Structure formats: C-alpha cells, structure tokens
Chain A
Amino acid sequence: MTDLPQGEASRRIDRAGLVIAAALAVLAGVLVWDARQLATTTMYGMGPEAMPVVVAVGLGILAIANLIDALRGNLPPRESADPRAVLLILGGLVLLIAIIGLGGGFILATSALFVTTSAAFGRRAILADSAIALVMSTLIYLAFDRLLTLSLPTGPLERLL
C-alpha cells in the first residue's frame, strides 16, 4: 500500500504500475507454458492451445501498454489505504475457510467473518458483535438450510439445532 504523492509529483514513475505490468507479463508466460503441455489431438480446425496463445499475446501487449502508462506516471491518483482494515477482513475470510475446512460448520464460520469485518470498520465491542453474529447466522442457517432446504455445512452448533 504505497501512498503516492499527488499533483506535480504524480508524473513520476508509478511503482505499482510496474508491478501490474510485470504481473500481466508473468500471466502471459504461464499461459504459454501451460499451452505447450497440451497435446494436439485435434484433427480439424483449431486446437485447445490456440486460444491461450492468443490471450497470452493480448496480455503481453497490455503489459507493455501498462508499463508505458506506469513509466509516464499516467495512472489515476490514489488515496492512502488502511492496511489494517484490509488485513482484518482477509483474516476473517481465512478463518471462515479454515472453520469450514475443519468441519466447524456454517454458523461459527460466518460469525467469525462477521466479527472481523465489523472490527475492520472500526467496531471494538467484540463480545456484543459475536453475540449478534451468532444469532444472525443461526437465523440465516435455519431459514436457508431448514426452510429452503439448501445444504449448508454442519458443525457442532448445527447438530444441536
């Protein structure tokens, strides 16, 4: 999260822009590498390797275009970002994935996401939010799993219901 100075100074080389251009170039490389592994079994017309190569060429050209934009400092100005809030929400997502992966169930998983997101937006009442989250996700679980018979992952809490 680089904070870029605005106005006059934004004409300088944009480092984030360079990273974007590099990422596009790498993506193009991965496409070509992957396409080379495909067997050409197609008897008529175009094989499965053609389209990835076309997309890779496009990505390559766009990488150059983005590079030029970055070197000229042509990127739109950005405001500073708060990395803590972003990391909190991402942490919530990781928790959600871990809880579901380990069989903790829907209610615990979504509650974890709710509390961390709420904290990312500046709330500090973790206990109160946890209570709200548990009640809400229990209600959602009941409404969707039981009422609409959608199968949501079950864990210890769901089995109690």
Chain B
Amino acid sequence: MMPFHTRLFGAVVALTLAATAPALSQQLELKIMAPAAPGGGWDQTARAMQQALVAAKIARSIQVTNVAGAGGSVGIAQFVNGAKGDGNQMMVNGFVMVGALAMNKSPVTLEQVTPIARLTEEIQVIVVPANSPLKTAQDLAAAVKADIAKVTFAGGSAGGVDHVMAALFAGTIGADAKKINYIPFSGGGESLAAILGGKVTAGISGMSEYEGQIKSGKLRALGVTSEKRIPGVDIPTFKEQGIDLVLANWRSVVAPPGITPEQRKTLSDAVEKMVKSDAWKDILKQKGWDDAYLSGDAFADFLKKETIRVTDVLKSVGLVKS
C-alpha cells in the first residue's frame, strides 16, 4: 500500500515532532464532537484523531462526544450554539452533512463554522453486474439518454454522496437529472444484493464497499470519480471516458464560530502535525482511508464550492426547494 520511503519519512517527521512537541502538548486539551452515533464514519474519524493526537503527543487529552441525529444537523446546531468562541473544541464533518443541512432546512449552516482542514476522502465508483450488457461509462450514458426511467441506480441514502453522484452523472451527459430513477438502500449489503440479483441497472458506492466484488469478478466497474487513475487499480476514470465527473466523499474537521486567529492557528497546527504523524498514517492504512489533507484558505474555499455544488444538485433533483 504505502511505499517504504513514505513510511520512513513519516517516522522521521514523527521523531522530529516528538522532540519538539512537549511544549505544545502540555496545553492542548481538546473536545472533538462526532455529530453521529458511535460506530459510523464520523465517529471513527473523531476517534482516530483522538488516538493519533494523543499517540503523537500533540495533545494531552482528547474527549470524543457523540451527538447523533439527522445527518449531523443536530450535532452542528449544538456545536455552533454551544461552543461559540471555544478554542478547545472541534467537530468532524463531511460531504453528507452538506446535503443533510440543506434537506433538513437546518437554521445552522457550514458557513458559520471555522474551517480547519479536510482530512480524508474516498473515491466513488459505478458498477454493473458481470453479466450486464453495459461495458463502459459511455454505454451507461447511452442507456440513460435512451430511456432515463429504465436505468435504475442503487446506492445509499437519499441526498447522500451516491445520490448526488447519480444526479451529476445524468447532468454531465446532458440528461435531465430530475428524472433519474435512483433507489436508495439503507446499507451497502442490501444494495449489493439488489445489484448482484440484477434488480437494478447499476450501483453507486464508495470504492471500498465494492472492491471485493469487483476483484472477484462479480461486479464490473464502469468508472471511478478520481481525477487520475487510482494507482494499482485497473479501472478507468470517468474523465478519461469523456465524462467530466470528479467527486469524492470527503471528511473534514472544523472549529466553532467566533474563535480568535491565534486559536485557529493553534488548532490548524495541531491538525497539521497530526496528519504528518506516524500514528495517523498507520490508522489511515488500517482503515483504508485516503489522505486528502487540505488546510487553511484552500479548504475554506473548497468547502464553499462543495456547498454550492451539492445544493445545486439537490435542487435539480427536487430534494431541496429553490
């Protein structure tokens, strides 16, 4: 997975950090909120941060709190209202929250939080059963253009990343995104059964969910949403097939509104050190997450753009009223 020299580099950085860290670690006592129930992706991210920050001696103690509900809508409301100006709190969030806030008509938005950094991302994939006549993304595009209603997409929850991707796919190839026949399933296993059983035309999910089935030949991947091919994976991107569909399911970490620039810098520095630590790299490898570190104004900009893009897509499929 990870080339040897990267690990070596990581180790060197970690050693250097370990030598310089103590001064900082004495002060940092952070609270990280996972706006979801224990066990999910955001909770795992929060706990991975906890583990890495403590292991790399960047913070003295980290407390993870779970505030579950409505794709993070409950959590962010509590975070924005309750932690205002507190430089010792952070919250994990991600792609799904953008859509959830728009759909639930949340009074609190992501514009109110202080962006810290994007941490990880997962590339999305479209698959068909092995015996499907569709061989390439262009075949699928042709089928969608021929009769959009008859092409059924199986994926995750309504308004989630899979749904947004189906709409983007239709929009990119010039079909009416409002007319896509997207069928949400509650779990990867359930949608997988529907795809394997030939009940739906195609399936959409994160790469890791279907990786095993693609490798075993039961599913055929039509395309991935990365800019360039994933190293070691023999699946063409949509882009190289002439469909401009680039998307990733990202997770990030944000701070409360109203913190001082110094507080923001302290948190950003801590996260940057964490991302470069060996402990974090080990966790990424173990969980199969891709590093997508992006910080500062670049991340703030990214967050703004994603919010606009997702909201537009959800409006186009009628999930959010314009």
A–B direct touch in complex (beta carbons closer than 8 A) = yes
Asked whether A9 is an interface residue with its Cβ less than 8 Å from the other chain, the reply is no
Q: Mark B171-195, 1 if CB is under 8 A from A, else 0.
A: 0000000111100000000000000
Binary flags per residue of B252-277, CB closer than 8 Å to A gives 1, else 0: 00000000000000000000000000
Our pick among A39, A43, A151 for the contact of B178 (Cβ within 8 Å) is A43
Chain B interface, number of residues (Cβ within 8 angstroms) = 11
The answer to the question of A37 belonging to the interface, with a C-beta cut-off of 8 Å to chain B, is no
Task: Please state if B149 and A43 are interface contacts (CB–CB under 8 Å).
Answer: yes
The answer to whether B319 has its CB under 8 Å from any CB of chain A is yes
Q: Are B321 and A39 in contact (CB under 8 A)?
A: yes
Question: How far, in whole Å, are A39 and B314 apart by their CA atoms in the complex?
Answer: 14
For B65, the chain A residues whose CB sits under 8 A away are 151
Do A43 and B321 touch (CB < 8 A)?
Answer: no
At the interface, yes or no: B318 with Cβ under 8 Å from chain A?
Answer: yes
Q: Which of A28-87 contact B (CB under 8 A)?
A: 39, 41, 43-44
SS of B interface (majority): mixed
A43's closest neighbor in chain B, by CB? Answer: B179
Return the chain A residue nearest B152 by Cβ: A44
Are B319 and A43 closer than 8 Å at their CB atoms? no
Q: How far is the CA of A151 from the CA of B65 in the complex (A)?
A: 9
Q: Across the two chains, which residue of chain B brings its CB closest to A42? A: B318
**Bound Cα distance A41, B179 (Å):** 10
Docked Cα-Cα span, A44 to B152, in Å, equals 10
A contact set with B: CB distance below 8 Å? 39, 41, 43-44, 151
Residues of B bordering A, CB below 8 Å: 65-66, 149, 178-181, 317-319, 321
Given contacts A41-B319, A43-B149, 11 further A-B contacts (CB under 8 A): A39-B318, A39-B321, A41-B318, A43-B178, A43-B179, A43-B180, A43-B181, A44-B149, A44-B181, A151-B65, A151-B66
